[in-house]
Structure 1
Amino acid sequence: ALDDCYFTLEWIVKNAKELKINQNQIFVGGESAGGGLVAALSLYARDKGDINIAFQMPLYPMLDNKTIYSHLKNSDAPLWDYKTNKVAWDIYLEDVKDNVPIYAVPSLVDNLTNIPPTCTFVGELDLFYNEVVEYVNKLKNSNVPVFFETYKSSYHAFEKRIPNAEVSKKAKKHVVDCFNYACKNYFAENNKC
């Protein structure tokens, strides 16, 4: 999955002119498992050094394969519980078993220096709440600008399930505001491509 994401990123940068986009203002975003891929892609791009991502939006990202235990807070959260999470991680990591690469599990990385500025949010009832908070703290400790919100009494992907609820409107506004701010303020040069 990460290889596909990186291939797409390369293609976008190489075809920026034809796509009529600014190659120095590439943003990446995703939700849940897609949010985990965004975090992994930003990490991989940083380490590879060929493409610079200007801004990332990993929303309520799936970051930690250890978040599978039934004794964890929110382990029986609506929509995405620890059993579903365990199945997803088992499938995603089935070829690596004991030698889990950091790009598959972004929570394994502590130093997030030079990761792009980040917008994210998570509901307080989301199974991923603790891992998202930990990720945000690692970003802040690495001096990465972070726009982060938590939402009370909200579970995984709440803004999709109840789009007209006030809390969902607030979450969507947070994302739009972050995006608009990033469009005006975040650039990352990509002249190598």
Structure 2
Amino acid sequence: MPIDPGAQRVLDLIRELGRPPIHTLNPEEARAASAKSRSVLQPEGEAVAEVEDLTCPGPHGPVRLRRYRAAGTEAAEVLPCLLFLHGGGWVIGDLDSHDQPCRLLANAARCSVIAVDYRMAPEHPYPAAVEDSAAALRWVVANAAQLRIDPAKMAVGGDSAGGNLAAVLAIMGRDGTVPAVGYQMLLYPATDMAGHHPAYERFTEGLILTRDTMRWFIGHYAPDPQRRFEWQASPLRANSLAGTPPAFVMTAGYDPLVDEGAAYARRLEADGVHVTYLYVADQIHAFLTMGRFIPASAMVLRQAALSLRHHWDAEPVL
């Protein structure tokens, strides 16, 4: 399958500008390069009914959050909620990097989206991001009335590293260590830090995320190789996924994470979890934050949001 023309234009632009591969930079340089590219790659964010920056208590200080309410909703209306964990390899990304996708998801799913600004590696390695994400989920559910959300219609989701964290929260919810959630939205998720899947060898150069770049991220996030095999780092290695909530899993064809994302969808299905799996054969990793060049970005985000909205609409009324 040929690569999407818009995705190819992004790759060509990166080469034309001479931007070095992420894995050749230090974390501060990588963050600066990522922030600089946002206005070039992302469209303007959709208008929503309300945006509010918040904080919640975390294990090592306050965790920043950003709450969105879908356009067209009333101020007092109690909405379903998606807790969103941003991507960026646990090293880059923040509330601003995923502001545009969060706005689109809120509107398309007609819900509240609460984005989490968890601590970044290498300053705060694994399991700091897990701990902050878990603290945020606990706080959001405990403060549902104040936030005007329905705790019985709670979902977790994220892209890439955020998909990893969302999958981990879904397992933790099943096990009772955080509040249980009803849905998991995993967008080209990282699920196995071993890095031995065949896609790692297929995508070694010419893309934004390559084998070496992914290993750079993993090295910063989980510097102890033995800890990479813990399921809270590699949810694909959990003993069982049975009892975790229904899932929407999306993978991209030109992505070193494609094999482990597909394997996670298969594990969910084998363990009796309802899963919707979307394989976008002509896309690159991170295309969801490149909507100025890649129209499929909005289409796939809307598909994910509509899957979530369908789940909420289909839930029985108690």
TM-score by length of 2: 0.54
Partner of 1:67: 195
TM-superposed deviation, 1:183: 2.2
* Contact 1:35–1:60 (Cα < 8 Å) also in 2: yes
136-145 vs 38-47, which deviates more? 38-47
1:156 aligns with 2:285: yes
Q: Structure 1's 26 and 71: CA in aligned 2 closer, same or farther, altered over 3 A? A: closer
Per-residue deviation, 1:185: 2.7
How big is the shift at 1:32?
0.7
- CA shift in 2, pair 1:38/1:71, >3 Å: closer
Q: SS where residue 22 of structure 1 aligns? A: strand
The one-letter code matched in structure 1 to 2:186 is P
Q: 2:231 aligns with which of 75, 95, 102?
A: 102
Equivalent residue number for residue 174 of structure 1: 303
CA distance in structure 2 between the partners assigned to 1:170 and 1:77 by the alignment:
25
Size of the alignment, in residue pairs?
Answer: 187
Contact 2:190 2:257 in 1 (8 A): yes
Q: How does 1:83-98 map to 2 (within 5 A)?
A: 83-94=212-223, 96-98=224-226
Please tell me whether the aligned partners of residues 200 and 211 of structure 2 are also in contact (alpha carbons under 8 angstroms): no
Kept in 1: contact 2:155–2:182 (CA 8 A): yes
Tell me the amino acid that sits aligned with residue 4 of structure 1.
Answer: D
Higher RCO (CA < 8 A, seq sep 6+) = 1
- Relative to its length, the structure with more strand (as a share) is 2
Give the drift of 1:77: 5.8
Q: Which has the larger radius of gyration?
A: 2
Q: Judging changes above 3 Å, is the alpha-carbon distance between structure 1 residues 178 and 63 closer, same or farther for their aligned structure 2 residues?
A: same
Aligned-residue Cα RMSD (Å) equals 2.3
Q: Deviations over 1:69-99 (max 9, x none)?
A: 89622343611111111011111112x4324
- Structure 2 unaligned spans of 5+: 1-128
DSSP 3-state at the match of 2:186 = strand
Map of 1:20 onto structure 2: 148
1:52 aligns with 2:180: yes
> Are the counterparts in 2 of residues 110 and 138 from structure 1 also a CA contact under 8 Å?
no
Q: Does residue 114 in structure 1 map to residue 240 in structure 2?
A: no
Deviation at 1:182, TM superposition (A): 2.1
Q: Which residue of the partner structure matches residue 169 of structure 2? A: 41
Cα distance change on mapping 1:71 and 1:24 into 2, 3 Å: closer
What amino acid maps onto 1:19 in structure 2?
L
Residue 56 of structure 1 and its aligned partner are, at CA, apart by 0.8
Give the corresponding residue for 1:128.
Answer: 257
Question: Counterparts of 1:48 and 1:156 in 2: how far apart (Å)?
Answer: 32
Change (3 A) 1:76 1:116: farther
- After TM superposition, the structure 1 stretch with the greater mean CA deviation from structure 2, 47-56 or 109-118, is 47-56
Q: Does the CA contact (< 8 Å) of 1:163 and 1:169 recur in 2?
A: no
SS for the counterpart of 2:225 is: coil
CA distance in 2 between counterparts of 1:135 and 1:153 reads 20
User: How far has the Cα of 1:164 moved from its partner?
Assistant: 5.6
| SS, match of residue 98 in structure 1 | helix
- Provide Cα deviations, 1:118-149, integer angstroms capped at 9, x if missing partner: 11211111111100000000000111111111
Question: Is this contact kept in 2: 1:80–1:156, CA < 8 A?
Answer: yes
Question: When the two structures are superposed, what TM-score results if normalisation uses the length of structure 1?
Answer: 0.87
- Asked if the contact 1:77/1:155 (under 8 Å) is kept, the reply is no
Are 1:183 and 2:296 an aligned pair? no
User: Do the aligned partners of residues 36 and 179 (structure 1) sit closer, same or farther apart at CA in structure 2, a change above 3 Å counting?
Assistant: same
**SS of aligned partner of 1:150:** strand
Match of 1:124, SS? strand
**SS at 2:172 equivalent:** helix
